[in-house]
Amino acid sequence: MSEVPAEVVAQLSPTGALRAGINMSNFLLVVDKTESGDPIGPSPSIAKAIADALGVPLKLVPFENPSAVAAAAGTGVWDIGNIGAEPQRAEVMDFTAAYVEIEATYLVQPGSSLQSIEEVDQPGNTISVSKGSAYGLWLENNIKQADLRPVVGGDAAFDQFVNDKMDALASLRPRLITETDKLPGSRILDGQFAAVQQAVGVNKGNDAAYAWLKDFVEESKASGLIASFIEKHGVQGKLSVAGPA
């Protein structure tokens, strides 16, 4: 990219460094940690690429979940926040188009009669989901007839699904693949009810930075940079480069 305007650098690094809010709960975007505890993965990698383009140091700011990243919007804790773009979150921060996406679908019980995603949202069916997750927020906006029961944390959502013998567990397909091992006979439904799109968020009021970030993300997808992060961190087939905006 060409030289970054001074206004953009000032908006994205008011402390002299780019502080990137990182969601630690997505095991595809954060695959490991350094010895000092810094996150490693595609999300930290795109943050580093942005900092390098700006010509400033990077400071990674870890958060336990995406809701915590969104809750910190406008508080001066982070300059960019890497989480899924959802309408509720867009009320407090501005998002680029997605840089990667992940299929979200359902796990059903052994012996379940449910065969398709469309059959889940029916009266009498219960759905367990991790509260505040991007796919959970999507379900809150779109489930019309089933009983959606959000609970804090992916492990808790699985436990609730098993212990309460609920009809479906909503999650990201790569995680559900690991959950089937814990519940023999359970099945993952084909297709997806949504694609969780991971984007770069910026605090509202930083219009120059927002415009620049949108262009940066599109160029990073087109150039193969995002694909190289997916390969480098070993999440091919689980994460996909998102399509053009």
Q: 31-78, pLDDT tens digit by residue?
A: 999 999 999 999 999 999 999 999 999 999 999 999 999 999 999 999
Residues 176 and 206 in one domain: no
What's the pLDDT score for residue 2? 75
What's the pLDDT score for residue 1? 62
Confidence of residue 86 (pLDDT cuts 50, 70, 90): confident
Quick one: which H or E segment has residue 130? strand 126-130
CA 138 – CA 122 distance, rounded (Å)? 17
CA 97 – CA 100 distance, rounded (Å)? 9
Residues 111 and 190 in one domain: yes
Residues 173 and 220 in one domain: no
Give the tens place of pLDDT for each residue, 199-227: 999 999 999 999 999 999 999 999 999 99
Residues 55 and 110 in one domain: no
What's the pLDDT score for residue 126? 98
Final residue belonging to a domain, choices 194, 212, 233: 194
Query: What's the structural domain count of the chain?
Result: 2
CA 148 – CA 139 distance, rounded (Å)? 8
CA 239 – CA 194 distance, rounded (Å)? 14
DSSP at 201: E
Quick one: which H or E segment has residue 12? helix 6-12
Residues 95 and 106 in one domain: no
Quick one: which H or E segment has residue 236? none
Q: Are 124 and 118 in contact (CB under 8 A)?
A: no
CA max distance for the chain: 61
Q: Are 162 and 97 in contact (CB under 8 A)?
A: no
Quick one: which H or E segment has residue 39? strand 39-40
Residue at 30 is within a domain? yes
Residue at 1 is within a domain? no
pLDDT, mean of residues 78-96? 94
Final residue belonging to a domain, choices 194, 213, 228: 194
Residues 234 and 163 in one domain: no
Residue 133 has pLDDT above 80, yes or no: yes
Residues 93 and 137 in one domain: no
Residue 184 has pLDDT above 70, yes or no: yes
> Which pTM was predicted?
0.78
Picking from 127, 132, 134, the residue whose alpha carbon sits closest to that of residue 103 is: 134
Residues 215 and 166 in one domain: no
Burial of 120 by CB count in 10 Å (0-12 exposed, 13-18 middle, 19+ buried)?
Answer: buried
CA 153 – CA 243 distance, rounded (Å)? 29
Residues 129 and 164 in one domain: yes
Residue at 11 is within a domain? yes
Confidence of residue 238 (pLDDT cuts 50, 70, 90): confident
Residue at 121 is within a domain? yes
What's the pLDDT score for residue 196? 83
Query: How many other CB atoms are found less than 10 A from the CB of residue 178?
Result: 11
Q: Which domain holds residue 212?
A: 6-100+196-241
Residues 73 and 127 in one domain: no
Residues 96 and 10 in one domain: yes
Q: Give me the CATH number covering residue 167.
A: 3.40.190.10
Residues 14 and 34 in one domain: yes
Residue 104 has pLDDT above 90, yes or no: yes
